[in-house]
Structure 1
Amino acid sequence: MRYQNITKARFLQRPNRFIALVETEAGEERVHVKNTGRCRELLVPGAAVYLEEGDRPGRKTRYDLVAVEKGERLINMDAQAPNRVFREWAEEGRFRPGLALLRPETTWGSSRFDFYWEAGGERGFVEVKGVTLEEDGAVYFPDAPTERGVKHVEELIRCREAGLQACLFLVVQMEGAAFWAPNDRTHPAFGAAVREAAAQGVEIQAWDCRVAPDSLEIRAPVPVRL
């Protein structure tokens, strides 16, 4: 996936979950943050950030904040990007050979999953999560407690019990992670749910991304440690 009209800026502060103050060549600017997570280890004063200029009429901010430099690592922090890059990647045949159908936002029972797929006589559901938390080369999810995330994993288990395929797909929004693991310090219940899901046959896949200021592309598998 690609972004248009990218501008580099310097992060100043984040007054709330949705807004950041940055400094561009033209001066101070209020921008929309496309990630409502904490991202405290990313959005630190002075960090280099990348902005996409919006083109929607009537919007309150000129730019969206989509990426940030953390040391020598460029991290995409657009919360809408993981589903978009997964869809592009899967439609290229890299998720399931012979993919016949990939449908986003599909309801099954009382659950709503990011994707439903059919290929080679099999069918199943995928729940996609974006990963931006990095520590000492490893990456973790979540960066804040997520009861919604636990519910999604439990729903994937129910899919397997019904004879469907199920996958938790973690899009690591940076390149070169040593491994992915559930963030038990932040939300142990999520880690417990993921381990139970794996034991019940739910696929747990993590893939890193090739990141540029104006693009994001799924690149290579990341080892999963449960």
Structure 2
Amino acid sequence: MIYKNIRKAIFMTRPNRFIAHILLEGKEEICHVKNTGRCKELLTPGAEIYVQEFDETKRKTKYDLISVYKGRRLVNIDSQVPNKLFREWAERNQFFGEDATIRPEFTYGQSRFDFYVESGARKILIEIKGVTLEEHGVVLFPDAPTQRGVKHIQELQQALDKGMEAYLVFIIQMQGVHYMSPNWRTHPAFGHALVQAEQAGLKIMALDCQLGEDWIEAREFVEVRLGNF
């Protein structure tokens, strides 16, 4: 995926989930944050960031915050990109078969899942989660309690009971990590639900991304460790 009109800036403050104050070419600007997660370890005063510039006459803000450097590691925090990356990756690698039909935004039970796939007799539900939290080379999800995430896992498990396949895919929006794990410290209920569903047949995958200042692409499998470390 390619981003157009990327500009380098400096992060200043984040007064709420949706807005950041940034410094761009010596001028303070207001920027939309495309991630409602906490991102506290990323969005620190003085951090180098990359923003996408738009025509301000059509928007409330002129810029979207796309990525941020954490030390030497560039992390994409665009919460709208993981679904696009997974679909590109699945189609490029024919992961579900050459003739698979991939439908986005599929309602099943009481939830809307990111994808529904049919491939021959296979019927597959897929939920995608973007991951931006990294500690010492280990990536963790979630970065804040997510009852919605637990509900998704439970309904994927119900789909398994009815003969469907189900995947939970973590798109790690960075590269060079060791492994991925549920964030037991932040939301143990999510970890327990994930372990239970995996034992029932849920397929859990994690993919890292290669990225630059104006592009990102899902690439390689990353090991998932479910144990409570």
Coarse TM-score class (shorter-chain normalised): over 0.9
Matched residue, 2:179? 179
Match of 2:50, SS state, is: strand
Residues 1:33 and 2:33 are matched in the alignment:
yes
The residue type equivalent to 1:206 in the other structure is A
Whether 1:21 aligns to 2:21 is yes
Q: Summarize the Cα distance change of 1:15–1:220 in structure 2 as closer, same or farther, 3 Å threshold.
A: same
SS at match of 1:15: coil
Distance in structure 1 (CA, Å) of the matches to 2:19 and 2:154: 33
Query: Structure 2: how far apart are the matches of 1:99 and 1:131?
Result: 29
SS of equivalent to 1:102: strand
Q: Which moved more, 1:4-13 or 1:21-30?
A: 21-30
Q: What's the CA shift for 1:84?
A: 1.1
CA deviation map 1:15-34 (0-9, x unaligned): 11100011111511100000
Q: Calculate the aligned-residue CA RMSD, in Å.
A: 1.2
Distance, in Å, in 2 between the alignment partners of 1:124 and 1:56 is: 41
Question: Does residue 157 of structure 1 match 2:161?
Answer: no
Aligned to 2:148: 148
What residue number does 2:167 align with?
Answer: 167
TM-score (norm 1): 0.97
Which residue number corresponds to residue 9 of structure 2? 9
Letter of the structure 1 residue corresponding to residue 224 of structure 2:
V
Cross-structure match for 1:211: 211
**Gapped regions of structure 2 (runs ≥ 5):** none
Asked whether the equivalents of residues 93 and 99 of structure 1 are also in contact (C-alpha less than 8 Å), the reply is no
Change beyond 3 A, Cα 1:89–1:55? farther
Aligned ranges 1:61-100 → 2 under 5 Å? 61-100=61-100
Rounded to whole Å, the distance in 2 between the matches of 1:109 and 1:196 is 19
d(CA) in 1 for partners of 2:94 and 2:40?
33
In structure 1, distance between residues paired with 2:24 and 2:58:
22
Between the aligned partners of 2:67 and 2:151, the Cα distance in structure 1 is: 28
State the alpha-carbon separation in 2 of the partners of residues 119 and 55 from structure 1. 41
Any residues of structure 2 matched to 1:115-130 within 5 Å, and which? 115-130=115-130
Quote the offset at 1:194 in angstroms: 0.4
Change (3 A) 1:185 1:99: farther
Paired positions, count? 226
Matching residue's letter, 2:141: F
CA shift, 1:108, in A, is 1.9
In structure 1, stretches of 5+ residues that fail to align are none
**Contact 2:109–2:155 under 8 Å retained in 1:** no
Q: Aligned partners of 1:144 and 1:99: how far apart in 2?
A: 38
Supply the distance in 1 between the matched residues of 2:221 and 2:4 (Cα, whole angstroms). Answer: 27
Following TM superposition, the consecutive aligned residue runs of length 4 or more in structure 1 with deviations greater than 4 angstroms are none
Code of the aligned partner of 2:106: T
Distance 1:26 1:5 in 2: 18
Amino acid at match of 1:212: G
Deviation at 1:138?
A: 0.5
